[in-house]
Structure 1
Amino acid sequence: MGRRYSHIVFGPQALARQEHVGSVVAYGADLDSPDTGPQEITDREVRLLTSVFQFHLASITPQGWPYIQYRSGPPGFLHHLGGNRFGFPDFPGNQQFVSVGNIEADDRVALFVADLPRRTRIKVFARARVTDAADDPDLAAVLQRIDGREIATRVERCVTLDVEAFDWNCSRSLIPQFTAEMIADQTAPYAARIVELQDENDRLRAELAALRGESDT
């Protein structure tokens, strides 16, 4: 069964080069089958997409150029709304509205999502829709909550994404990167153990001094 991802990304020039180097068997062969519609989202995609705190969103300008914008929020700010639909809150920004305007003119977008600590990444093609929070307060309320907690920042707009296609990429060239919070969480047990050992060392020194009849003063 052909994947929509291949039908979207592989044009004649890309296929010609694949034929030349022999990689068409691994990639362009998907085009032997017809485009059967959006690829079905599975639990694997949901787990990654709803765990990230950042991604890059590409939209199309009126002049036909790609425009890439960085999006971020608390881990889980990209919500799974069921089926192939995802959504995220649009917070107050610099008031340029480039991505918003692009989406309103052409709803095709692409996401590059990377979990750098785990060296995992996925590319996603979707149809996007922008809704003012005041026009759909119920959706805004859903997107403003993560694991039962409410995001403090006000939601101005809601962006929904209906996924058309996706592709998991190899991790070979990804360099692991960690946030300060991730490092703190990983090193906290070691820091606590160091404090325990320092306290124990101080206690043993005091006991040894007492046995020798030494004074701290």
Structure 2
Amino acid sequence: MRRYAQIAFTEAVREVQEEEGSRRAAGRLAFGAEEPDPLGPHEAAFIAERDGFYFATAGETGWPYVQFRGGPPGFVHVVDESTLAYADVRGNRQYISNGNLRANDRASLFFMDYPAQTRLKVFGRAAVRSLDEEPGLAERVCARRTDGRVERLVVVRVEAYSWNCAQHIPQRFTRADLEPLLTEIRSLRSDKAALESEVAALRRTLGTRGGRGTADPVG
């Protein structure tokens, strides 16, 4: 968090913190953190479990651009404690993020866990690399990736990260999150239908036997 705060707390940000009365607490966070933050096991596991993230860059004009990248859990590979990589597949062919990175390699990544209301923010320096530039890395990254035609690799050198509080993160669930519960509901419905069928059959049987029992005896 110290390195993240040191990057994020610019002079203008510190002025606002001073105005809002949070400067003292924020100042402690931003002190003495020159080296990049290494990703720990908790961060690595969290990233590996995500099926998407938000990727922000900025162009030469200063305007920010944010896009969403999705794929199977683990499509963002934690190469080591300071490196992330993923296969960049063909999309709408605007190439805004890639163009921005050519002029400014700074990037911000947001990894969200909506069911657990947890967010991991990452500052990094991103580079676009051809598939034949690092064939070993390309093979590893393409083993688990987003569907589509792979055009290149995106490699992010992590500078800092920070975990956010859950106060304003809405709790949302995907179909994959709910699938175990849906499967159980379908099973219960199937069991209920089978029981209802058995009850109906028993009633028919009891009704038939009851009719025979009340018939007039042969004199």
Moved more, 134-143 or 62-71: 134-143
Matches within 5 A, 1:17-32: 17-31=16-30
Deviation at 1:128, TM superposition (A): 0.8
Q: Distance in 2 between the 1:145 and 1:193 partners?
A: 38
What CA distance in whole angstroms lies between the structure 2 residues aligned with 1:114 and 1:26?
A: 26
1:207 corresponds to which of 172, 180, 202: 202
- CA deviations over 1:95-130 (Å, ceiling 9, x no partner): 221111211222110112211111000211001111
- 1:18 positional shift: 2.2
Length, aligned pairs only:
209
TM-score by length of 2: 0.87
Name the residue aligned to 1:55. 53
Q: Which amino acid aligns with 1:25?
A: R
- Structure 1 stretch 163-172 or stretch 63-72: which is displaced more? 63-72
1:43 is aligned to 41
Quick check: 2:14–2:23 contact (8 Å CA) kept in 1?
Answer: yes
1:88-167 alignment to 2 at 5 Å?
A: 88-146=86-144, 152-167=147-162
Long gaps (5+) in structure 1: none
Determine the structure 1 residue equivalent to 2:212: none
In percent, how many aligned pairs have the same letter?
Answer: 32
Indicate the residue corresponding to 2:12 in structure 1: 13
The RMSD of aligned alpha carbons is 1.9
Counterpart AA for 1:202: S
TM-score by length of 1: 0.88
- Cα deviation, 1:151-198, whole Å, max 9, x if unaligned, reads 653321111111101111111111111222322332211211121121
Q: Identify which of 166, 171, 174 aligns with 1:171.
A: 166
Q: Using the alignment, how far apart are the partners of 2:6 and 2:55 within structure 1?
A: 20
Q: Note the residue ranges of structure 2 that are not aligned, 5 or more in a row.
A: 210-219
Counterparts of 2:129 and 2:169, CA distance in 1: 34
Q: CA deviation at 1:42?
A: 0.9
Supply the distance in 2 between the matched residues of 1:192 and 1:26 (Cα, whole angstroms).
Answer: 53
Partner of 1:194: 189
Query: Residue 2 of structure 2 corresponds to which residue in structure 1?
Result: 3
Secondary structure at 2:138 match in 1: helix
Flag as ranges the 4+ runs of structure 1 deviating above 4 A.
Answer: none
Letter in 2 for 1:181: A
State the structure with more CA Rg: 2
